[in-house]
Amino acid sequence: MNKDKLKKYKPYPVVHLPDRTWPDKSITTAPVWCSVDLRDGNQALIQPMNLEEKLEMFQLLMEVGFREIEVGFPAASQIEYDFIRLLVEGGHIMNGVVPQVLTQAREPLIRKTLASVQGAREAIVHLYNSTSTLQRDIVFKKGRKEIIELGVAGARLIHEQARETDTRIRYEYSPESFTGTELDFALEICKAVLDVWEPTPDNPVILNLPATVEMSTPNIYADQIEWFCRHLDNRERVIISLHAHNDRGAAVAATELALMAGADRVEGTLFGNGERTGNVDILTLALNMYTQGVDPVLDFSRINRVINTYERCTKMKVHPRHPYAGELVYTAFSGSHQDAINKGMSAAELTESGLWEVPYLPIDPQDVGRTYESIIRINSQSGKGGVAYVMDREFGFKLPKDMHPGFGRVVQEISDATGDELTPEMIFHAFEKEYLFNTNGYALQSFNVVKRHIDRDENASSAEIEAVVIVKGEEKTIAAVGNGPLDAFCTALRVGLGLQFSLHSYHEHALARGSSSKAVSYIEVYDQDEDGWWGAGVDTDIIVASIKALLSALNRSAAKKHKK
């Protein structure tokens, strides 16, 4: 970038607060949440929501648990006014939910705003006027005194109008562009408004201190909030509210630090939708708290429903890397990540502590209604651990650890050839082709245990078997005696077909519960060159499954030797 152009900019001033206390604090309880999706979020859409979409979004917000919802700017347009009347007259506002309406400090707007909530049990009337130095000097060309007079006049009119309605009116005031306003002036105008509204501990006023434009690092916003709280008289009569925008990409961090600095309430939107780079993302804030063991009060256990409703109503898409909600955030492509997640998930199933401790996953996907199937996805960057995870979670095959590298290489070759992500079905098809249906060398036609003998005195047993094996299209009958059916079959292959190999490893498990479920066997053999080869077999009979697994291993050995 052109360094000469840097002269156009100057650093944001810091707050002199050497004894700040917020760095030593933590968030232990959820704030009061206020959704502004239907106002701040809606006005930032290319195509604003219609009445039906607004109502669907409003119902979603109530379902999630919002009890304060800014439903619009009723004096801005007819559809805004009509929507609020629809909520009130249609009985759509659930008990305990308070609609919030926004108005500028202008008499006609205030009167229409109060009229819009007539008949509601309770409503928050949110008054604002611009206080920043830029707005005062460039937009309004007014001094501090005139700006205060504007805010006070608006507050007085709302107070008078509230007395003429049966609706319980709660008050909220915002010095718009708080972060662009001198702290002493923000405090002065807020005190002037409070003098009009005369809050009490039982009927507090909401003072909303918005980072209308995010202009500094998050710690400075926290300093501003702590400074303001310290210098405000009768703090117990005021609810300090935050409304952070995301111009610097740090709205979530700024809000978290400001909560530590003493704020009580947060205004924001789902997925951070809002003007320019957006508002603070309440979903991320809430689930950040959840991962620290703090009840966020909001319920995002059905996150896919939230996503679908949001995308349908706003015509916006949730980014695939969006925290907690994105399509890919519970997905690992990296081989080392996949291996760690695989091991972590297995360990989590055995732990008695109940704590969620899985590498790379700060939250259990099931807690937000997501499934484990999509955690690990396979492409050319993936490794053996991820492939084994998919085989286990998707299809129930718990491959022995020593088998992972071999099958991982099989999948890697396919991924390299296609250059694309492999679906679980593609991975399983590769497993079937490589292990279960690989009968190019030897195929089992029939297998019978002719006789079993158990010597109780010697704690030993023997078995006599007879089998028909297809070798290059020709049936071969083989028979032998061994310590058990598998040992006898190995002897028969060596004697009857002249094969040279030794058994090295054997594993088995059921693929599902129940008496009729299938079993899978995994066998590793060493060939005459002492190379190890794994095979797998599936059958309702565990003995037959092991015979198939043995032939699978021998077929893989023969195929590789033939390629050489």
pLDDT at 2: 82
Residues 447 and 531 in one domain: yes
Tokens standing for residue 252: 């979530």
Q: Is residue 436 part of a domain?
A: no
pLDDT at 270: 98
Q: Is residue 26 part of a domain?
A: no
Residues 244 and 364 in one domain: no
Q: Is residue 279 part of a domain?
A: yes
Residues 397 and 449 in one domain: no
**Domain stop point among 386, 404, 428:** 428
Which residue do the tokens 């707050």 mark? 15
Give me the mean pLDDT over the 286-307 stretch: 96
Residues 216 and 304 in one domain: yes
For residue 372, pLDDT over 90 is answered with no
DSSP codes of every residue in 484-537: SHHHHHHHHHHHHH---EEEEEEEEEESSSSTT--EEEEEEEEETT--EEEEEE
**Domain stop point among 381, 399, 428:** 428
Lowest-confidence region among 44-58, 154-168, 249-263, 506-520: 506-520
Q: How far apart are CA 450 and CA 479, in angstroms?
A: 9
Residues 422 and 455 in one domain: no
Alpha helices in 65-106 (DSSP H): 78-89
Distance of CA 388 to the CA centre of its chain: 24
- Tell me the CA distances in angstroms from 529 to 155, 166, 534, 550, 554, one per residue in order: 91, 92, 15, 17, 13
Backbone phi and psi for residue 362, each to the nearest 5 degrees, phi listed first: -70, -15
Distance of CA 94 to the CA centre of its chain: 28
How confident is the model over 55-75, as pLDDT tens digits?
Answer: 999 999 999 999 999 999 999
Per-residue pLDDT band at 330 (split at 50, 70, 90): confident
**How many CB atoms are closer than 10 A to CB 377?**
20
Q: At what angle do helices 183-197 and 144-162 cross, to 10 degrees?
A: 30
Count CA within 13 A, CB hemisphere, residue 505.
14
**Domain stop point among 428, 459, 493:** 428
Residues 195 and 289 in one domain: yes
Residues 399 and 459 in one domain: no
pLDDT at 352: 85
For residue 375, pLDDT over 60 is answered with no
Which residue do the tokens 């190999």 mark? 501
Q: Is residue 152 part of a domain?
A: yes
284-290-296 Cα angle (round to 5): 80
Q: How far apart are CA 43 and CA 278, in angstroms?
A: 11
Q: Is residue 434 part of a domain?
A: no
Query: Into how many domains does the chain fold?
Result: 3
The residue among 146, 109, 145 whose CA lies nearest residue 127 is 109
- Residue 232: domain span: 31-314
Per-residue pLDDT band at 516 (split at 50, 70, 90): low
Backbone phi and psi for residue 555, each to the nearest 5 degrees, phi listed first: -65, -40
How confident is the model over 344-365, as pLDDT tens digits?
Answer: 888 888 888 889 999 989 999 9
For residue 145, pLDDT over 70 is answered with yes
Q: Is residue 320 part of a domain?
A: no
454-519-561 Cα angle (round to 5): 95
Per-residue pLDDT band at 327 (split at 50, 70, 90): confident
Mean pLDDT for all residues in the chain: 91
Element (H, E) at 428: helix 424-431
Q: How far apart are CA 212 and CA 195, in angstroms?
A: 25
Q: How far apart are CA 375 and CA 332, in angstroms?
A: 6
Q: Is residue 98 part of a domain?
A: yes
Cβ atoms of 471 and 441 closer than 8 Å: yes
Q: How far apart are CA 184 and CA 34, in angstroms?
A: 27
Residues 416 and 453 in one domain: no
Tokens standing for residue 88: 């009130």
In this structure, what is the dihedral angle of CA atoms 162, 163, 167, 173, given to the nearest 10 degrees?
Answer: 30
Residues 360 and 502 in one domain: no
Residues 405 and 532 in one domain: no
Tokens standing for residue 546: 């092991």
Q: pTM score, two decimals?
A: 0.73
For residue 443, pLDDT over 90 is answered with yes
Lowest-confidence region among 89-98, 325-334, 485-494, 547-556: 325-334
The CATH number assigned to the domain holding 214 equals 3.20.20.70
pLDDT at 99: 98
Lowest-confidence region among 193-202, 343-352, 522-531: 343-352
Q: Is residue 24 part of a domain?
A: no
For residue 3, pLDDT over 80 is answered with yes
Residues 264 and 148 in one domain: yes
Residues 87 and 234 in one domain: yes
Lowest-confidence region among 112-116, 435-439, 442-446: 435-439
The CATH number assigned to the domain holding 463 equals 3.30.160.270
